[in-house]
Structure 1
Amino acid sequence: MAAARSIASLSLSFGLVSIPVRLFSATESSATIRFHLLAPDGSRLEQQYVSKSTGKKVERAEMTKGYEFEKGKFVVFTPDELKALEESPSHLVEIVAFVPDKAVDPLYYDKAYFIAPDKRGGKPYSLLQRALQASGRCALASWNNKGKTCMVQIRATDDGMVFQQLLWSAEVRSLKDLDIEHAPVSAAELKLALQIIAQGESDSYDPDQYENVEQKRVLAAIDAKIEGQQIVAPAEESAPSGGQVIDLMDALRASLTGGAKKKASGGRATVAEVSPLPAAKRTRAVKRAEVPPAAAPAKRARK
């Protein structure tokens, strides 16, 4: 993974104390394998915007932005008008409340960042970090990010503080909208389910224990393509018939027995595999994905 680079300098307001901090992205997308759209001759394609009414290409300099308030009717805004609607640029992040650590539902989590102390910010940064840990609370703050106001959660860990951008309430749907029917559960069924959970208990989530099997499969396919081989689709696993009736208690007992055997043999109870590959492999994967089909014969000819 590439060295962390600061993307912004901010001032975190903690009461009358101002903490200078630097902002870092907490995630990186280099592990994503991207495929590019190519022409029949293997050259890259570029995107163009075409008018629906005339069919002619429209240059970016000629474009305007509009809001559709009725079907086919728009109010148009100039770049200056849109600029005037933005919040004034500010590096101040103002803490507005302190809430319990678990008070923010992860459904509201958007992009995650890290914050680290800037020059002369070490002492107040460490003080806020320790105070949040000791209180069992996190901070809610208002942040003007690129002209748009958003809410953030600041939570402390042993290594530093996480700066978690949050979604607004209107951006998150509710499970109540699904009108889920809750069926009755017997005490015996619940007891077996709890025993299955106990078998697979873990004190924490360690992403390094899991592997992104889909990425490995795609990388293998890219290697095969570069070597001139054909991609063969894996055989589909037979699924139970939709009309098959499975007794819930029998399924729970079988799960409990199978989990016990797996635990006794040293196997993991979990089957999900989703951790990222090492950085070197991720970089190689991105480069592979950018090789056009026409390049493969040339590489084989050199061998």
Structure 2
Amino acid sequence: MRAIWKGAVSFGLVNVPIRLYSATENHDVSFRQVHREDGGRIKYQRICSIDGEVVSYDDIAKGYETEDGEMVVLTDEDFKELPASSSKEISVEKFVPAEQIDPMLYDKSYYLEPDKASTKPYILLRDALEKENRVAVVTVSIRTRMTMAVLRVHEGVILMQTMLWPDEIRKPDFATLDDDAKATKQELAMADLLIEQLAGDYEPDDYEDDYAAAVQALVKAKVEGGEIQHAPESKDESGEVVDLLAALKKSVDKAKASRGESTSDSKPAAKKTAAKKTTAKKATTKKAAKKAS
């Protein structure tokens, strides 16, 4: 694993230098959109929805859409005025009972590894959290934005889990659950019996992503059967060049139209001019040959 962030956990007067690692990775099967005929990858242009023009990255800004559909464009200067933090400190605010944190609030997970010189205070914090069955509520700055998180112990390692803000949790509002329907004693007894029959311990190895396994087996069979597309590399290494040429062509056509000129490409005319010059050169050469004879 590679550390993605370095900082320190601070609680009271104790400071524990640590390195941060992503604790999870996504194994979802991903596909690319390709041309059915030759397997070439599909490219996309950045088109303005108002004027239909291709927009370069330099001209793209961040916009915030209001509830009534209006768009507010934010500049780099605007973002400089927003509250931001570049602190490398994971500051412990309080230690709370683990059961007080609803698992629904948890977002992303990260492992904390101590520096060699800070192993002892790291172990002290880890063991204290386990002994008291508490988690540490902390504040941390990730990508310049301050967020809440908790520190808890997982398999002998301190795990940091960032948290969603309370207003990011949707409230369930289902009218059908407001009905007065209630389960009878017999129904509850039967449900209890079913739960008892299916009771057991959670074993992660008992489950697997059969969809991903099936896709991988399918791809392997096609490769072994020679069912693959050898798509040649595109001559245009960057989609940006294509976009730029298209934008320039439209700009030239617009300029010609404003002057009442034809918007046809000027390259053929250039070829004709070159052809005339070549013919003239040949005629001059023949005349010089006759004089010499």
CA distance in 2, matches of 1:102, 1:129: 17
Partner of residue 192, structure 2: 194
Query: Which TM-score applies when normalising by structure 1?
Result: 0.69
Partner of residue 242, structure 1: none
**Amino acid aligned to 2:91:** E
Residue by residue over 1:77-121, the C-alpha shift from the partner in whole angstroms, topping out at 9 and shown as x without a partner, is: 112321331412010111112111122112111111111112322
Partner of residue 159, structure 1: 156
Q: Does 1:77 align with 2:74?
A: yes
1:216-235 alignment to 2 at 5 Å?
A: 216-227=213-224
Partner of residue 108, structure 1: 105
Residue by residue over 1:211-232, the C-alpha shift from the partner in whole angstroms, topping out at 9 and shown as x without a partner, is: 2111122223223433559xxx
**Amino acid aligned to 1:94:** S
Determine if contact 2:90/2:140 at 8 Å carries over to the other structure: yes
Q: Does 1:38 align with 2:46?
A: no
Structure showing greater radius of gyration is 2
Q: Does 1:185 align with 2:120?
A: no
Residue by residue over 1:38-95, the C-alpha shift from the partner in whole angstroms, topping out at 9 and shown as x without a partner, is: 1343222233210111111101111111222354532221123213314120101111
CA distance in 2, matches of 1:200, 1:121: 46
Determine if contact 1:98/1:137 at 8 Å carries over to the other structure: yes
CA distance in 2, matches of 1:190, 1:62: 63
CA distance in 2, matches of 1:42, 1:119: 51
Q: Which has the higher helix share?
A: 2
CA distance in 1, matches of 2:100, 2:83: 30
CA distance in 2, matches of 1:161, 1:138: 10
1:1-303 alignment to 2 at 5 Å?
A: 4-29=1-26, 31-39=27-35, 40-69=37-66, 71-175=68-172, 177-179=173-175, 180-181=177-178, 183-203=181-201, 205-227=202-224, 293-295=228-230
Pair 57,152 (structure 1): closer, same or farther in 2 beyond 3 Å: same
Partner of residue 286, structure 2: none
Of the structure 1 ranges 166-175 and 81-90, higher mean CA displacement relative to structure 2 is found in: 81-90
Determine if contact 1:153/1:165 at 8 Å carries over to the other structure: yes
Determine if contact 1:109/1:166 at 8 Å carries over to the other structure: yes
Amino-acid identity (%): 36
Partner of residue 253, structure 1: none
**Amino acid aligned to 1:188:** Q
CA distance in 1, matches of 2:221, 2:182: 51
Query: Which TM-score applies when normalising by structure 2?
Result: 0.71
Determine if contact 1:20/1:119 at 8 Å carries over to the other structure: no
Determine if contact 1:113/1:163 at 8 Å carries over to the other structure: yes
CA distance in 2, matches of 1:70, 1:100: 39
Tell me how far 1:158 sits from its aligned partner.
4.0
Pair 148,223 (structure 1): closer, same or farther in 2 beyond 3 Å: same
Paired residue secondary structure (1:102): helix
Paired residue secondary structure (2:117): coil
Higher relative contact order (CA 8 A, sep 6+): 1
**Amino acid aligned to 2:33:** L
Determine if contact 2:85/2:146 at 8 Å carries over to the other structure: no
Residue by residue over 1:250-270, the C-alpha shift from the partner in whole angstroms, topping out at 9 and shown as x without a partner, is: xxxxxxxxxxxxxxxxxxxxx
Of the structure 1 ranges 105-114 and 75-84, higher mean CA displacement relative to structure 2 is found in: 75-84
Tell me how far 1:23 sits from its aligned partner.
0.6
Q: How large is the RMSD of aligned CA atoms in angstroms?
A: 2.2
Determine if contact 1:129/1:157 at 8 Å carries over to the other structure: no
